Amino acid sequence: MKEKTIYEHLREKGLSRRDFMKLCGTIAGMMGLEFVPPVKALGKTLGQSPEEVVAQALKTKPKVPIIWLEFQDCAGCSEAISRSSSPLLSNLVLNDIAIEYHETLMAAAGFQAEKAKEECMKQFFGKYVLVVEGSPTLADDGIYCTVAGKSNLDLLKEAAAGAAAVIATGNCACFGGIPAAHPNPTRAVGVAELIKDKPVVNIPGCPAIPEVTTGTILHFLIMGQLPETDQLKRPLPFYGNTVHDHCLRRPFYEAGKFAGSFDDEGARKGYCLYKLGCKGPTTYNACAGLKWERGLSYPVQSGHPCLGCSEPHFWDGGGFYQGQSAPIIRLDKGSTANLVGVGVAAGAALAGLNAVKKSRAKKDLRKDQSQAPGSEPGSKKEG
Amino acid sequence: MNWTNILNFSRGPLLHVAMIIFVAGLSYRLVRVLLLGWARDRAKNKGSKLWGVIVNYLKGLFVLPFIPWVRRTFRHNELTFIAGGLFHLSLFLVLVFGTAHILVWKSLWGFGWKGLPTPILAFFSAVGIISMIVLLINRLTHPVLKMLTKFPVWINWLVVFLPMITGFIMARHLWFRYEVIFSLHLISVSLLLIWIPFGRISHFLFYFFSKTIHGAQAGKRAVTP
């Protein structure tokens, strides 16, 4: 039997053609598809709009099964996606694209669940998308995070072997996140450091913006490949700009108007939160554009500085409420006093040595002069 | 290695090491200078030492720089005086009243103060950079200065200029990604901090010692410094 396409699935559920085209437009926007190169056919150049590309893909492509693994995580990214602001999108991903295995969301449990995963991995070998939430741990062969008696390293390798692509969602899966914070007892790392032979894309954030995760999954579904990424493997449509670039408080930054505390006049007037520790200038994420809760707001809009949760080591990058320009490791009073002591001691020691040398030289000079006949005492140089 | 890691390194360990070298090195230099020896001052007390110090500072910092034509040093070389003065003034303003710099002071000392508006700071940092370039050209073309200039002077110029230019580009968000130029700024600042104890830029500290001692000597002899 031929596999049903996504469009057929949606039609069966009673989605009208108009709603379908709306959905396609939303997806195209979500994916950041601004422009699709015109297609040459029959001697003519056919312009193709982004939503047509999406519609074409949904009409012709079968469902993509997703296996969603969780390691050292808080399930926050899953929570975010299940409360995604666009019900159509999350429905599409949760119900129609088919997440075959998800420990938190699936009804099955125990051996039943594991069996479902194994069957899925066998049936769709080389086709499924592996989504990883939470950081894998390297310490002691990964025994600090086990599911069904298997270490997370084995689980990851096993699932990645048959995956068409790997999507790491959340800062933990991308860069180690909070489990990797100093002193990192479990040696948590990002997925991309372990999986080298498959295409990996990072969707960092704490949690990852659900629209970005679904957008990336849909991008893979529609274009057949992962989106273009930056140096840290983050998809450019979503991580191309900093939070600072699109910040609605940016004019205040430019004018040098800053809130000095959370309850001063500046904070009430909506001034820039740079002095309260905002990490917006170095944080690449779509917060300021997509926002959260159906575009309702995002942290900086609500009056809280950006924590930089989509950047590596955000937990150890200085205090959240400490200005970004401040040094991460501070010289405290004790160590400053010690350093001054060291400098003073070294200086004094050297000066003492010099003094001894000088007095010896003087003595020698005096001796020489008293021995040498006809020397004039007046020619003696003051040292 | 990506720029986020480089930024974390330059904000963390690199700056830390630079500060360690800066503090220990400056204390060392200070002790070395102080222990070079003091000539015994056998002059009788004729006036107040403190008054001499106060007058010396007031004249040197707040009066003479603004009426420079009364001085021979100015009349002989106006360009160096004006460019040098503007450079010092703008460096002071940006370092002390730049918002990002205030946050550094706050993290070190636990208290901050109000900064100047960004456009004013941008103006002064541009003035500082232009004066640095003018001074460099002057040094490159002036026949006598050229002969006097040795290698460390070029290093002095460079290690001061790099933080200024990278800081300006960063604060104006020009050309580079923010984390790249932020890292470059911090690397150049670290270089400056490491170099200061070993070079003549240490005059930022020693200046106050000589100013105080000269003021005290003049005050003691009751001659206005």
Residues B100-153 have pLDDT tens digits of 898 888 888 888 888 888 888 889 999 999 999 998 898 888 888 888 888 888
| Percentage, residues of chain B above pLDDT 90 | 21
A275 contact residues in B (CB cutoff 8 A): 99, 102-103
Q: Do A6-36+50-239 and A241-345 come out as alike in CATH topology?
A: no
Is B9 inside a domain boundary? no
Q: Which candidate in B17, B27, B36, B113 is best for mutational testing of the A interface (most A CBs within 10 A)?
A: B27
> Residue B122 to residues A353, B125, B126: CA-CA distances in angstroms?
49, 5, 6
Q: Is the pLDDT of residue A97 over 80?
A: no
- Tell me which residue of A25, A120, A134, A9 sits closest to A71, measured CA to CA: A134
Q: Is the pLDDT of residue A206 over 80?
A: yes
CB contact (8 A) between residue B103 and residue A254: no
**Confidence at B166, pLDDT banded by 50, 70, 90:** very high
Q: Is the pLDDT of residue A2 over 70?
A: no
Is B34 inside a domain boundary? no
Tokens read off for B35: 């222990």
A335 contact residues in B (CB cutoff 8 A): 20
> Residue A82 to residues A31, A76, A104: CA-CA distances in angstroms?
19, 10, 11
pLDDT of amino acid A376? 52
Backbone angles phi, psi at A257, to 5 degrees: -105, 115
Tokens read off for B22: 């800066």
Residues B13-26 have pLDDT tens digits of 898 889 888 988 88
Q: Is the pLDDT of residue A152 over 90?
A: no
Q: How many CB pairs under 8 A join A and B?
A: 128
- In CATH terms, the fold of domain A6-36+50-239 is Rossmann fold (3.40.50)
- The dihedral sign for the CA sequence A174, A177, A182, A187: negative
- Of A57-71, A74-88, A202-216, A318-332, the least confident: A74-88
Is B40 inside a domain boundary? no
Mean pLDDT value across chain A? 81
Three-state secondary-structure class, residue B137: helix
Q: Is the pLDDT of residue A83 over 80?
A: no
Q: DSSP code of B225? A: -
Domain that holds residue B99: 45-220
Backbone angles phi, psi at A106, to 5 degrees: -75, 150
- What ipTM, to 2 d.p.? 0.79
Q: Which candidate in B10, B22, B23, B172 is best for mutational testing of the A interface (most A CBs within 10 A)?
A: B23
Q: Which of 1-20 (B) contact A at CB < 8 A?
A: 2-5, 7-8, 11-13, 15-16, 19-20
Q: Are B152 and B134 in contact (CB under 8 A)?
A: no
Domain boundaries, chain A: 6-36+50-239, 241-345
pLDDT of amino acid A379? 46
Number of structural domains found in chain B: 1
- In CATH terms, the fold of domain A241-345 is Cytochrome-c3 Hydrogenase; Chain A, domain 2 (4.10.480)
**Chain A residue with minimal CA distance to B31?**
A347
